[in-house]
Amino acid sequence: MAASDWILATRPKTLAAGIVPVIVGACIGAAETQFNVLIMLACLGGALCIQIACNFINDALDAIKGADTEERIGPKRAVASGAISARSMLIVSMFILAAALGIGIYLSLIGGWIFFILGIVSIICAYTYTGGPYPLAYIGLGDVFVFLFFGLFAVLGSAFLQVAGANTDITFRLDGLPITWWLIAAAIGFQATAIIAVNNLRDIETDQQVNKNTLAVRMGAKLTKIYIFILHLAAASALFAAANLYEQTLLFISAGIALCGGLGLSIGIARAEKTALNKFLGLSAALEMLTGLSLVICLAL
């Protein structure tokens, strides 16, 4: 078990889905108060712990269930390739989730009990994404999980905690959050969902063989490619709406990046098959990173 095997098992190309929403959310909240680096780092640590643990559990359980085999056209998985045992992967996952729980307790002291509940739900979903009697990824709900946790919850939670860090008397209420926060969170969520959609599009054939009924398997390749285009269009539309409500001209740049990048990716994905989709998985994550970076710069100016 080399260190490089563990690093690759974290799926570094897709970690943007955990990093971007936290940083963007922190910057949104910091626009209302003084920026708190410690809170942002705690949110980032929690999000990455959940994502990496989810990836490790997915790696182990997909290998056990036969979803990852020698015929896999995506990057080789650590457990399926024999580089790491399923037992070791699951044990390490439990330690990572324990760390996520500790971070959740710290954040709940700042933002209230709701963040402890959210942490518990996140930990449960990290396991049930692939494990349990009704694994989310196997019944077509993986996309919903990604949109909620790596879009709405991560962005809105990180934004609110920045404000709560300066005013511990306020209470987290979804109906009390600005519509602009919701729009930006939705945009990031749509882009994160597009990443998992490309992953599942690539794996349609091998997933079908083991009854892993992802949304891509249920829709088929043609509809999934249209779905990916709609996700990118929705992300750009949400950012254009946020820019208009914010009356912030610079935010239109972020919307433009999301639109042009999304269109470019959608065209490329429409023409790609099987292993050719691997590069679009990385490019989808890169687009989310670029969009997030532009949002951070625009919000800071």
| Residue-wise pLDDT tens digits, 35-80 | 889 999 999 999 999 999 999 998 888 888 776 655 556 667 778 8
Q: What is the pLDDT of residue 111?
A: 86
Count how many Cα atoms sit within 13 Å of the Cα of residue 193 in the half-sphere of its side chain.
Answer: 32
Rounded-to-integer distance, Cα 249 and Cα 196, Å: 31
Q: What is the pLDDT of residue 300?
A: 76
Q: What is the pLDDT of residue 71?
A: 59
Rounded-to-integer distance, Cα 169 and Cα 105, Å: 18
Rounded-to-integer distance, Cα 7 and Cα 173, Å: 37
Q: What is the pLDDT of residue 31?
A: 81
Q: What is the pLDDT of residue 171?
A: 62
User: Which residues of the chain register pLDDT less than 50?
Assistant: none
> Under DSSP, is residue 70 helix (H, G, I), strand (E, B) or coil?
coil
Q: What is the pLDDT of residue 84?
A: 87
The two three-digit tokens of residue 298, written as one number: 């625009």
CB within 8 Å of 261: residues ≥ 6 apart? 232, 287, 290, 291
Q: What is the pLDDT of residue 173?
A: 64
Q: What is the pLDDT of residue 83?
A: 83
The two three-digit tokens of residue 22, written as one number: 């936290």
Nearest-5° angle of CA 270, CA 272, CA 276?
150
CB 290 within 8 A of CB 257: yes
